[in-house]
């Protein structure tokens, strides 16, 4: 059986004609070494946000604003097409497809405007358009270079449930669909250029796998095809010890374990979607994180936890920060020993689709502290006040306090925190740098420690912790 390589390119890798040329160069090099190659790509950088902004304008009654977004989308893609494509045949084909998708966007926005709301299903239809446009541009450019490539909608490959905006794949059906559709292409050495982010229900409705879901799509397809390797290509040199914009001495990690990169991604590092790791963890698939714009530079190999040496397990690996968070504290003496308070609290957060990024709770449930993205903090507070209105009337719950402009700083390293050595050094370093720690939590596996600090202390905290990581590296 031929070995299969799946490569995923993110939005910055297709964000301009120049970026697409870099991506094409990587594909050409990979094609020389791999007889069977599948490429998964995101929308042009910024396009998904632009699409959703148009839907939001339409739902608020501003249909003119939505049409202006349509014009901006058309110009953004047409600029790339004109700079990248040379032949009239390919340019006309891609421009016709672009016209179709822009018209579809306008029609969807009109429907949203008439209804006065954008349902999750409608938002998935809108947000899928970016990938559906970008695959046509990249495939056409490859064909101009005598590479037999064709655009493929992942809605024909990935079957999901009907949980729009964060759909879950049916792997058995997806495996059958992906193999039926893609394997004949690969046997003819055609390169499928596949839309990331998108699936479909049994009824054929378009779904999306959640923001950042192109990584997840690539992982799903790699598993379905039993690929040998999966490359996630971004705009940085692999997985780094921290953001080099914060600490100039940041380094690329040679290897990182599955559990460590999941912790890192969950803690805010924009390296790979956690679900992409989850879907391939138990498969015999090598995963690499590479830089589209520095193909000969350092890269990171993601390995199984069993393949990490005992020495590596005792090391801090990386530190990252989740910004624009709010701490919400539910407090009251009447909560003492009352069962179900936590369940009702997080049920309220779930009803407004808030992603709870950190939890600190006493065993008595007299106080519950948790963090959510600041953009949804007000909604969460309102929902908590509705949920506990009787407890407020009875003074069992005294207050819901909110602290905005906080940052969650997390340090990752499998097994490092089984002893107190690193923890002691960590808090000493923060103290010496005059950082006020607002809250602390540790992963149950001993693989991470998170501290909550104010926005003004965030970069200083990251640098202080990073110096410890470089020291133990």
Residues paired with residue 208 on neighbouring β-strands, in sequence order? 198
Q: May I ask the CATH class of domain 4-235?
A: alpha beta
Q: What is the pLDDT along the chain (473 residues), one digit of tens a residue?
A: 569 999 999 999 999 999 999 999 999 999 999 999 999 999 999 999 999 999 999 999 999 999 999 999 999 999 999 999 999 999 999 999 999 999 999 999 999 999 999 999 999 999 999 999 999 999 999 999 999 999 999 999 999 999 999 999 999 999 999 999 999 999 999 999 999 999 999 999 999 998 888 999 999 999 999 999 999 999 889 999 999 889 999 999 999 988 888 888 877 777 888 889 889 988 889 999 999 999 888 999 998 766 665 445 557 889 999 999 999 999 887 777 667 888 999 999 999 989 898 998 765 557 899 999 999 999 999 999 999 999 888 888 888 999 999 999 999 887 665 555 777 888 899 999 999 999 888 765 557 889 999 999 999 999 999 998 887 54
Exposed, middle or buried by CB within 10 Å (0-12, 13-18, 19+), for 311? exposed
Distance, CA of 473 to CA of 466 (rounded, Å): 10
For residue 473, the model assigns a pLDDT of: 43
Distance, CA of 18 to CA of 12 (rounded, Å): 10
Distance, CA of 196 to CA of 10 (rounded, Å): 9
The answer to whether 356 and 370 have CB atoms below 8 angstroms apart is: yes
**Domain map (residue ranges) of the chain:** 4-235, 318-472
Does the global pTM surpass 0.75? yes
* Pairing of the two strands 318-331 and 399-412: antiparallel
Distance, CA of 14 to CA of 42 (rounded, Å): 8
For residue 362, the model assigns a pLDDT of: 64
Exposed, middle or buried by CB within 10 Å (0-12, 13-18, 19+), for 120? middle
DSSP H helices, 397-457, are 420-432
Report residue 63 as tokens: 């249909």
DSSP string, 361-410: E-TT-SEEEEEEEHHHHHHHHHHHHHHTHHHHHTTSS-EEEEEEEEEEEE
Dihedral angle, C-alpha 352, 356, 362, 368, nearest 10 °: -40
Superfamily covering domain 318-472: VC0802-like (3.30.2130.10)
């Amino acid at each position: 059986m031929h070995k299969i390589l799946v490569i995923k390119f993110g939005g910055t890798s297709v964000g301009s004609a120049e970026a697409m040329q870099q991506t094409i160069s990587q594909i050409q090099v990979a094609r020389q070494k791999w007889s069977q190659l599948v490429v998964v790509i995101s929308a042009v950088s910024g396009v998904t946000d632009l699409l959703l902004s148009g839907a939001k304008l339409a739902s608020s009654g501003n249909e003119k604003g939505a049409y202006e977004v349509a014009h901006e989308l058309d110009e953004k893609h047409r600029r790339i097409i004109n700079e990248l494509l040379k032949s009239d045949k390919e340019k006309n084909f891609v421009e016709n497809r672009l016209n179709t998708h822009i018209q579809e966007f306008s029609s969807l926005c009109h429907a949203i405007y008439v209804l006065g709301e954008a349902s999750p299903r409608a938002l998935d239809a809108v947000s899928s358009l970016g990938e559906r446009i970008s695959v046509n541009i990249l495939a056409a450019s490859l064909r101009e270079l005598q590479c037999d490539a064709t655009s493929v909608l992942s809605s024909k490959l990935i079957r999901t449930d009907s949980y729009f905006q964060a759909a879950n794949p049916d792997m058995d059906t997806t495996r059958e669909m992906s193999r039926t559709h893609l394997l004949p292409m690969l046997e003819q050495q055609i390169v499928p250029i596949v839309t990331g982010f998108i699936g479909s229900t049994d009824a054929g409705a378009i779904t999306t796998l959640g923001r950042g879901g192109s990584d997840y799509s690539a992982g799903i397809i790699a598993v379905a095809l039993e690929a040998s390797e999966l490359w996630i290509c971004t705009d940085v040199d692999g997985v780094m010890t921290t953001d080099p914009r914060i600490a100039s001495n940041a380094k690329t990690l040679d290897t990182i374990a599955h559990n460590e990169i999941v912790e890192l991604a969950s803690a805010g590092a924009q390296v790979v979607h956690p679900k992409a790791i989850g879907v391939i963890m138990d498969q015999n698939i090598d995963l690499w994180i590479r830089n589209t714009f520095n193909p000969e530079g350092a890269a990171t190999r993601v390995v199984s936890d069993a393949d990490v040496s005992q020495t590596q397990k005792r090391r801090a690996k990386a530190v990252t920060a989740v910004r624009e968070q709010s701490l919400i504290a539910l407090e009251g003496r009447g909560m003492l020993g009352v069962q179900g308070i936590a369940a009702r609290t997080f049920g309220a957060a779930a009803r407004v689709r808030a992603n709870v990024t950190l939890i600190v709770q006493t065993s008595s449930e007299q106080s519950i502290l948790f963090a959510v993205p600041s953009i949804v903090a007000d909604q969460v507070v309102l929902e908590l006040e509705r949920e506990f209105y009787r407890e407020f009337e009875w003074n069992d719950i005294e207050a819901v306090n909110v602290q905005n402009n906080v940052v969650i700083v997390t340090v990752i390293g499998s097994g490092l925190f089984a002893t107190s050595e690193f923890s002691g050094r960590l808090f000493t370093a923060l103290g010496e740098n005059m950082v006020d720690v607002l809250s602390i939590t540790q992963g149950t596996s001993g693989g991470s420690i998170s501290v909550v600090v104010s926005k003004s202390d965030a970069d200083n905290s990251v640098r202080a912790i990073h110096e410890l990581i470089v020291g133990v590296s």
